Amino acid sequence: MTSFIDRRLNAKGKSTVNRQRFINRYKKQIKKAVSDAVTRRSVTDVDKGEKISIPTRDISEPTFHQGSGGVRERVHPGNDKFARGDQIERPPSGQGQGAGQGEASDSGKGQDDFVFEISKDEYLELLFEDLELPNLQNNRLNKLVEYQVYRAGFTNDGVPANINIVRSLRSSLARRTAMTSTKKNKLSQLENELDQLENKPGSDAERIMALKAEIIDLKQRIKKVPFIDTFDLRYNNYAKREVPSSQAVMFCLMDVSGSMDQATKDMAKRFYILLYLFLTRTYKNLDVVYIRHHTQAKEVDEHEFFYSQETGGTIVSSALKLMHEIQQKRYPENEWNIYAAQASDGDNWADDSPSCHELLEKKLLPVVRYFSYIEITNRAHQTLWREYEDLQKSHDNIAVQHIKQAEDIYPVFRELFKKQAV
């Protein structure tokens, strides 16, 4: 069988339809590969797509062929066991000579899994299908105002680069029609009169000469009308308008006390990656603030946030206080869309949990778009979980979810950001 491999460049997106058809056909396998790839990425790594590997057996398609039906007789040489009419039993399992479901063979020839690469947009589209940001609002910037250029009709003045040729020629045609219509009508009448006089014997020669002179004068006057004038020129007009703010900040708060092992931190990292990727689809500019805490909170970079060995006790309110201080200094609520995600194992000093409740209710929840609390533990819930649950009952911009293992991360994320019924 002859195989054709199309290695032509995708000029002008000619294969886009076929590509989308392929992605929709094998969306289940592709979405599984995309969700598994999250753990290998950095939180802010959104500049590339992902390589997807699909087993060859999954992309094999059924084919139609002409079968050999009917009753047939065959002569097999060397047959000394069977006679006409005997039924041949099926060979026992495991005794066959076939090659199984794989593509390899004893000669070393086979076929690897089908690997292709999806773009960044396709990656995010598959990852966050049917999801949305809750409480999404567009803020107007007070200090830094962004402008968007848009078409605002046509104008009589402008630069040559903005000339609208169609409008200019249309205006020229209208002007020439208005200036020459009466002259052309009179010219047509004079030409008809001249034809009648020339074809009529004994006509007045002086009248004929006068008509010819008048016709020549009219033609010259019509010819003097310019084809295009400065009055006819039309230019594309462009104006600017203010656009809402497209910037947001994401606060990542994580407990790094002694009970938070590296596996728990890795699960928190996967959740933060999903949140970052999701927010970048909505906002043009996105800042990430990392806050780690034990008994004291500290703003750090991404590497120290996930891999620092520093540990200690647990005071969750220290992280909430630091978040509030940073938000007040650098991210005013009237200029920024504020999101926060907190990951913890639920362990906290009992007398500190009411302080967390007060900080969230009075200072943080009034300014944030959405606050999500993720508790990663296999133990029973403690006081911190109950305080956050009480806030969830009275505020619609806070969500509380429980994660036990890595397989729960993506379902929990989809539950947090699923589209709300209108």
Predicted local confidence at residue 144, as pLDDT: 45
* Closest to 347 in 3D by CA, of 307, 376, 367, 324: 376
Residue 146, domain member (yes or no): no
- Asked whether residue 107 carries a pLDDT value surpassing 90, the answer given is no
Q: Kindly report the pTM of this predicted structure.
A: 0.52
Q: Among 217, 237, 257, which residue terminates a domain?
A: 237
- Give the domain range for residue 30: 21-57+113-127
Name the token pair of 356. Answer: 């967390």
Residue 283, domain member (yes or no): yes
125 vs 104, residue with greater confidence: 125
Of 159-163, 242-246, 264-268, 282-286, the poorest mean pLDDT is in: 242-246
Distances (CA, A) of 165 to 225, 228, 234, 351, 358: 20, 11, 8, 76, 66
Residues 391 and 348 in one domain: yes
| Mean pLDDT estimate for the chain | 76
Residue with tokens 């007060």: 358
Residue 227, domain member (yes or no): yes
Q: Please report which confidence band the pLDDT of residue 291 belongs to, taking 50, 70 and 90 as the band edges.
A: very high
Residues 164 and 275 in one domain: no
Residue 50, domain member (yes or no): yes
Q: What is the pLDDT of residues 53-69, one digit of tens each?
A: 666 555 556 667 676 76
Residue 280, domain member (yes or no): yes
The H or E element containing residue 189 is helix 165-198
Predicted local confidence at residue 254, as pLDDT: 86
Predicted local confidence at residue 422, as pLDDT: 45
Q: Among 102, 127, 152, which residue terminates a domain?
A: 127
Name the token pair of 288. Answer: 């990430």
Residues 407 and 259 in one domain: yes
User: Per mean pLDDT, which of 83-87, 104-108, 201-205, 253-257 is the most reliable?
Assistant: 253-257
Number of domains in the chain: 3
CATH label of the domain that carries residue 177: 1.20.120
37 vs 191, residue with greater confidence: 191
13 φ/ψ sector (left φ>0, alpha ψ -120 to 50, else beta): left
Burial class (CB in 10 A: 0-12, 13-18, 19+), 183: middle
Using a pLDDT cut of 70, give the percent of the chain over it. 67
Q: What is the pLDDT of residues 155-193, one digit of tens each?
A: 888 888 889 999 999 999 998 888 888 888 888 888 888
Residues 275 and 349 in one domain: yes
412 vs 120, residue with greater confidence: 412
Q: What is the pLDDT of residues 365-382, one digit of tens each?
A: 999 988 988 888 887 788
Distances (CA, A) of 225 to 143, 179, 180, 188, 218: 55, 8, 8, 18, 11
Q: Among 190, 207, 237, which residue terminates a domain?
A: 237
Nearest-angstrom CA–CA distance, 281 and 125: 9
Residues 190 and 329 in one domain: no
Residues 312 and 228 in one domain: no
* Closest to 373 in 3D by CA, of 268, 256, 278, 280: 268
Residue 316, domain member (yes or no): yes
Predicted local confidence at residue 326, as pLDDT: 93
Nearest-angstrom CA–CA distance, 20 and 126: 12
